[in-house]
Amino acid sequence: MDIVDENFDHAQVEGTKNGMKVRDGIFLPNGVRNLSYSKCFKLRDDDIFVSSFPKSGTTWTNELVWLITHNLDYEGSQNNLEKKIIWLDPGIPTNVIDDADSPRLFKNHLPLQFLPDDIRTEKIKKIYVLRNPKDMLVSTFHFYRKLVKDEFIGEFKDLVNLFEEGKTWYGPWWSHVDSFVELPNTFIIVYEDLIKKPFETIKCLGEFLGKKLSDSQVQFLIECTSFKKMKEGESKFKSDAKHSNFFKSDLVFFRKGEIGDWKNYFDEENSRKVDAVVEKKLKFKINFIYEN
């Protein structure tokens, strides 16, 4: 898969080892190589997009969506790790996207402006994954410290400051959320709902995807996408040699998967900063769950 690298602006950003790429005022990981691919491919009516800000529960949601749309074929899901989901962010050549079998499942953290215009239409199913921003930031902090090209070397407070300024990868967070949740034919999955009321949440997700799941099927999905089960599969992901170019060997992809870990990292000042962002900058009104 040959990717033609585009030219990006570049910015030195406090807390980052190698700075960030910049396009249209949006700060991006250095691993993003070509945005024209993600913008220009032709959509199909049965395409499904799973979009989110990083570390919000995308992998969990992707697994659920794939299983629901493939008749709960758990064995098949374990044998098609690289082919089952198209990750748009780095830059996937258009011919590779065009050759993929339907229904195509796309995942991305890219802001809406870098995706095909037709994603805004009613016919395309969109799923947006949302997590309380405090736990999201803690997960982000640990994950980005284990990246090779985009290693974060700052302190946790530095990441909170970047979040407040809209300079985290793919940010600003509030405009990312607001743009996606307003799209037609969009199902919003709240990470905390998957933890606290998984049966109801997965049942509704199935209905959105056109599948009437039985109670036993929902229970199966809960069990085979549990944090423990997903954690067990992490070794397959990390054993892939090509991932050594992106992740350090001690990466923990599935770290805790719980609600409330933010209390171990936030002081009162930083907590207030995030609260202010939610209250003053996020147009989408939601009562985030911060307690388990």
Tens of pLDDT, residue by residue over 186-213, are 999 999 999 999 999 999 999 999 999 9
Opening angle at CA 195, ends 236 and 82, nearest 5: 25
Say if residue 24 is exposed, middle or buried (CB neighbours under 10 Å; 0-12, 13-18, 19+). Answer: exposed
The share of the chain scoring above pLDDT 70, in percent, equals 88
Q: Which domains does the chain have, with CATH numbers?
A: 9-280 (3.40.50.300)
Q: Distance (Å, rounded) from C-alpha 161 to C-alpha 164?
A: 5
Q: Check: pTM over 0.85? Answer yes or no.
A: yes
For the CA atoms of 182, 274, 168, 193, what is the dihedral angle to 10 degrees? -50
| Catalytic (active site) residue 109 | yes
Section 281-287 average pLDDT: 97
Q: Distance (Å, rounded) from C-alpha 58 to C-alpha 127?
A: 10
> Confidence band (pLDDT; 50, 70, 90) for 106?
very high
- Choose between 162 and 152: higher pLDDT: 162
Residue 141, C-beta contacts closer than 8 angstroms, at least 6 positions apart: 152, 156, 159, 265
Q: What is the pLDDT of residue 245?
A: 54
3-state helix, strand, coil in the chain (%, to 5): 45, 10, 45
> Confidence band (pLDDT; 50, 70, 90) for 145?
confident
Active-site hit among 109, 142, 176, 243: 109
Q: Which two tokens stand for residue 134?
A: 């405090």
> Confidence band (pLDDT; 50, 70, 90) for 51?
very high
